[in-house]
Structure 1
Amino acid sequence: MSSKPTLHTSLSPALLHLYDLSNSVVVIIDVFRATSTISSALYNGAKCVIPVDSVPKAIEISRNIDGIAAGERDGQIAEGLAHGNSPLEYNREFIGGRTLVLTTTNGTRLLHMALERGADTIVSGSFPNLSAVCEFLLAQNKNVVLGCAGWKDRFNLEDTLFAGAVITRIKKHFEIHCDSSLMAEAMYNKHKNNLMGFATKLTHYHRLVERFGLIDDIKFCLTEDGANVLPVYREGRLVVETVK
């Protein structure tokens, strides 16, 4: 009988209920762009990121703490907010020492779903902090659920690609009997040498680039370790923690 912890991949928030989160580290994955933006803001010195599930809540909380209310709906800056979900918006001069209160279509929603289902530990993952996530999962030596945010409960490829990148690095240390994980790993390994080239086929790429011209966002979101910090959810906030 194996003593290794298990690893599963949930390809959509609509499938999250199928997995036991109570004794697991849950990695929230929203590559385009919430979890990439979270890494960027924290890497550039944000005090913390408070993920919320609605625009009014983001506005209310940010007013009470003199934070920055930000977020998107359907890829655009959400109505009533001055700042959106671009990782490039949160440079050190702007975000350093401040709190970002963020709401997004998919990623922050999935985080709250994981909380409601009793997730033991929640971290935020994307290509910009791939190494930090992998180091943390290895150090924890606990069951892992890689949670893909998808798009409005639908499967998407970019989140699954990131899950595959994680699996490729850490699979020797986990028991993996999960077809979605095997598929994610195979897909990542097929395209890992040209992620940008593959990305041009993705529906969310076209949503963000053809409609809004966000090609630089996409490049950042697919670059490994460009903002290599570990955002961990603690008492309502995502904060940077050092892997121990």
Structure 2
Amino acid sequence: MTESNKPSLEVCLSPALLHLYDVKNSIVVIIDVLRATSTICTALYNGAARVIPVATVEECVNIGRAIDGITAGERDGKVAEGLVHGNSPFEYPREFIEGKTLVLTTTNGTKLLHMAKDAIQIVTGSFPNISAVCDYLVSQGQNVILGCAAWKDRVNLEDTLFAGAVVSRIKSHFEVNCDSALAAETMYEAAQGDVFTFMKQASHYKRLAKYGLEKDIQYCLTPDGANVLPLFKNGELVAEEVSVK
């Protein structure tokens, strides 16, 4: 807690900076908007039993085979070699994913999740579940670190925008003494009239648009399409329903 008796709210803009933050005394929100954390909440919202995030394709294949799970993931925006399914939220409708386990490996998001393993609690956040995330963080009354997965340790727009959107929504409940949080909120306020158009200047937008994934990008930037809270427990993400206020 801070001197104001409010918990702190901070933004870590890259996994390369996470060691500078007090992870052990915080809830950490893993943010990988395009597309890991958007896909995770969508799969869970559509009835997936759990999502197991792993670091490597080999681990993904081995675990998937052992538990008869769905193996999925991407490297640099494309389906990873050796896997059948990718990282698009549209690949996981209810009729396909309900009751099943998704084993997922991604370029950036799963790496950050495992780096934050000593946190009080880890949840994943993106625009499709922003209300669930915000309601949970306010209800817990704990210090919060909004951790951006970034792109190969380089700061990116989409994760920063989401972090700024969360700061904008919940800052009255927290002590915000963090320049990264203020910068993220300022960026979000500049973009919030049309986040999709704002994102067109981003490197990751251009990277995914080359593969015809504008529909994915639009979905991943739209609030509350899959409003569940993915909680990290015992090496897997499970859905905890949070009522939207």
The answer for the alignment partner of 2:157 in structure 1 is: 157
**How far off its partner does 1:162 sit?**
0.1
The alignment's C-alpha RMSD in Å is 0.9
Find the aligned partners of 1:233 and 1:40 in 2 and give their Cα distance.
15
Secondary structure of the corresponding residue to residue 160 of structure 1 = helix
Letter in 1 for 2:84: A
Secondary structure of the corresponding residue to residue 24 of structure 2 = coil
Report 1:95-244 matches (<5 A). Answer: 95-115=97-117, 118-210=118-210, 212-243=211-242
The answer for the alignment partner of 2:5 in structure 1 is: 3
TM-score by length of 1: 0.97
Structure 2 regions of 5+ residues with no counterpart? none
1:79 pairs, out of 65, 78, 81, with: 81
The answer for the alignment partner of 2:23 in structure 1 is: 21
**How far off its partner does 1:170 sit?**
0.4
**How far off its partner does 1:26 sit?**
0.1
Q: Quick one: percent identity of the two aligned structures?
A: 64
CA deviations on 1:153-194 (whole Å, 9 max, x unpaired) are 000010000000100110001011100000001110111110
Letter in 1 for 2:206: H
Q: Conserved in 2, the CA contact under 8 Å of 1:139 and 1:243?
A: no
Secondary structure of the corresponding residue to residue 194 of structure 2 = helix
Secondary structure of the corresponding residue to residue 158 of structure 2 = helix
Q: Give the total of aligned pairs.
A: 241
Find the aligned partners of 1:17 and 1:193 in 2 and give their Cα distance.
34
Q: Conserved in 2, the CA contact under 8 Å of 1:48 and 1:237?
A: yes
Find the aligned partners of 2:25 and 2:231 in 1 and give their Cα distance.
16
Find the aligned partners of 1:238 and 1:33 in 2 and give their Cα distance.
16
**How far off its partner does 1:243 sit?**
3.9
Find the aligned partners of 1:213 and 1:46 in 2 and give their Cα distance.
26
The answer for the alignment partner of 1:48 in structure 2 is: 50
Q: Conserved in 2, the CA contact under 8 Å of 1:7 and 1:176?
A: yes
Find the aligned partners of 1:199 and 1:171 in 2 and give their Cα distance.
24
The answer for the alignment partner of 2:90 in structure 1 is: 88
**How far off its partner does 1:242 sit?**
3.1
1:36 pairs, out of 22, 35, 38, with: 38
Letter in 2 for 1:214: L
Structure 1 regions of 5+ residues with no counterpart? none
**How far off its partner does 1:213 sit?**
0.6
Find the aligned partners of 2:58 and 2:70 in 1 and give their Cα distance.
13
Secondary structure of the corresponding residue to residue 100 of structure 1 = strand
Find the aligned partners of 2:97 and 2:65 in 1 and give their Cα distance.
16
TM-score by length of 2: 0.97
Q: Conserved in 2, the CA contact under 8 Å of 1:150 and 1:156?
A: yes
Find the aligned partners of 2:232 and 2:181 in 1 and give their Cα distance.
24
Secondary structure of the corresponding residue to residue 95 of structure 2 = helix
Letter in 2 for 1:68: I
Letter in 2 for 1:130: I
Letter in 2 for 1:147: G
Secondary structure of the corresponding residue to residue 231 of structure 2 = strand
Q: Conserved in 1, the CA contact under 8 Å of 2:228 and 2:242?
A: no
Secondary structure of the corresponding residue to residue 193 of structure 1 = coil
Secondary structure of the corresponding residue to residue 204 of structure 1 = helix
**How far off its partner does 1:23 sit?**
1.4
Letter in 1 for 2:196: M
Secondary structure of the corresponding residue to residue 207 of structure 1 = helix
